[in-house]
Amino acid sequence: MEDLWRLSAEQLAGLIRTKKVSAKEAALAALKRLDAVNPAINAVVDHRPDDVLSQAAEIDAAIARGDNVGPLAGVPVTIKANIDQAGYANTNGLKIQANLIARDNSPVVDNLRKAGAVMLGRTNCPAFCYRWFTTNLVHGNTKNPRDPSVTPGGSSGGAGAAVAAGIGHIAHGTDIAGSIRYPAYVNGVHGLRTTTGRIAAFNAALPERTIGPQISAVSGPLARTIADLRISLAAMSAYDARDPWWVPAPLEGLAVKKRAALCVNPDGLDPVAEVRAAVVDAGKRLERAGWTVEEVTSLPPLKEAAEHQTKLWLGDNYEAQLAAAEREGDPGALACLRGNRSKVFPFDADALSKTLTRRATLVREWSLFLEKYAVLVMPVSGELPFPDQLDTRDAASFARVWHAQLTQIAIPFMGLPGLTVSTGLVGRVPVGVQVVAGRYREDLCLLAGEAIEAGGTPSSVVDPVTG
């Protein structure tokens, strides 16, 4: 069964648990696929076949003993190169961290292992995870397997490219301003940004994070099916005492009416026609699945939320971030920081206090809106996937990129969950929609996502396009 890598995680785990396929066979198939396609896309930047096969052997031995090996029994999963995995460098796309070897696993890696997953390899990200493009001076460029002329996304660009190309069945990603949702969008897969506090976070190899990332940066899964997002969310979100922000919220909340708000042009985004059409089409799919869909033209503030999020992310400790980027010498990281300087610096204690105070108001307004509607469906980006490295061309291109990503930047400021659902292709580049729900209501995102997914052509593995 050489094509095991084509299966969904749910299908593969079922075969392994019932001994129809061994975890070793699944691991060998995954490694073979990695060897076949990764040279063309550079999605995985560190992997050790002996380690992968050793993990698989542990799963097979546990199954032979009759142990419960978890919902991801033997499923190959990739891990983003910005979180701790024992024995591996937490590079965060940086030369200056190339030898920063983690001694312990981050909570999300431990939880995936407990659920039976096999860690296949570590995926690429841009330097400091600042961008919606994935290139750096330590690992090089990642290519979009569907079209190498467009971005693979960022900062979880390696994750999105890997899962789209069949390297692993689930990819771990992180998201502070779209870093899961955008790679899913441009690679034609699905990606779930979780609620702040849903998935425990901690990297012992790195200094404690500043308050902005603490309250808005999250881990989450990317996969080719919504069902795989559901089971990987359950695995990733298990308790870990190392994260003081972790919340024991149920994975399934109270039943609510299937009522969706549809916003084609949120807060002046002015999306291109193909993006507008995808949102309208997603609304029709929901209606056919029994949802009540109401088009809205006004939302609680998004542009303001995006401005505050940018300040919290880049403005807090700005000078230290800029100094580190200058030491690294990464053009993309420097473009990000210098291009946003006038918007985020200076950012003193008074500005921080006012930002966090205003955050409470915006969280309240969004919570009330999402009490009225189970979900909001809107664009992921104002544009189709960008030409690769567009943000470094000139000032106008940089501004164009940041404007198009408005909805991705805004949602983390309120700590809300957001789901990218891939809905199809425009030519050979993907398009999709973003589904947002109230805090800790990932289940509603997934419920709507399943209806949207079922109404179209399923996402499937792609062989990398090389020209």
Residues contacting 14, CB < 8 A, separation 6+: none
How many CB atoms within 10 Å of residue 368?
11
Tens digit of pLDDT per residue, the chain (467 long)?
Answer: 669 999 999 999 999 999 999 999 999 999 999 999 999 999 999 999 999 999 999 999 999 999 999 999 999 999 999 999 999 999 999 999 999 999 999 999 999 999 999 999 999 999 999 999 999 999 999 999 999 999 999 999 999 999 999 999 999 999 999 999 999 999 999 999 999 999 999 999 999 999 999 999 999 999 999 999 999 999 999 999 999 999 999 999 999 999 999 999 999 999 999 999 999 999 999 999 999 999 999 999 999 999 999 999 999 999 999 999 999 999 999 999 999 999 999 999 999 999 999 999 999 999 999 999 999 999 999 999 999 999 999 999 999 999 999 999 999 999 999 999 999 999 999 999 999 999 999 999 999 999 999 999 888 899 998 87
Quick check: is 156 catalytic? no
128 within 8 A of 90, measured Cβ to Cβ: no
Tell me the two tokens of residue 458.
């399923």
78-117 in b/e burial notation, b at 16+ Cβ within 10 A? bbbbbbbbeebbbbbbbbbbeebebebbbbbbbbbbebbb
User: Per residue in 319-362, pLDDT tens?
Assistant: 999 999 999 999 999 999 999 999 999 999 999 999 999 999 99
How many whole angstroms separate alpha carbon 195 and alpha carbon 443?
A: 11
> In the prediction, which pLDDT does 457 show?
86
Residue 258: how many CB atoms within 10 A of its CB? Answer: 17
Catalytic option among 179, 216, 232, 459: 179
8-state DSSP, 457: P
**Measured between alpha carbons, how far is 335 from 286 in angstroms, rounded to an integer?**
40
Structural tokens at position 331: 């053009």
Percentage of the residues of the chain whose pLDDT score is greater than 70: 100
Catalytic residue among 24, 80, 143, 311: 80
Residue type, 64: A
> In angstroms, what CA-CA distances link 221 with 20, 69, 155, 328?
26, 20, 13, 29
CATH 3.90.1300.10: does it fit domain 2-454?
Answer: yes
- Catalytic residue status for 179: yes
Catalytic residue, candidates 8, 155, 216, 459:
155
Q: Peptide bond before 346: cis, by omega within 30 degrees of 0? A: yes
| 155 a catalytic residue | yes
Cα distance between residue 152 and residue 56, in whole Å: 29
Q: What is the model's pLDDT at position 1?
A: 61
**Residues in contact with 356: Cβ distance below 8 Å, sequence separation at least 6, in sequence order:** 211
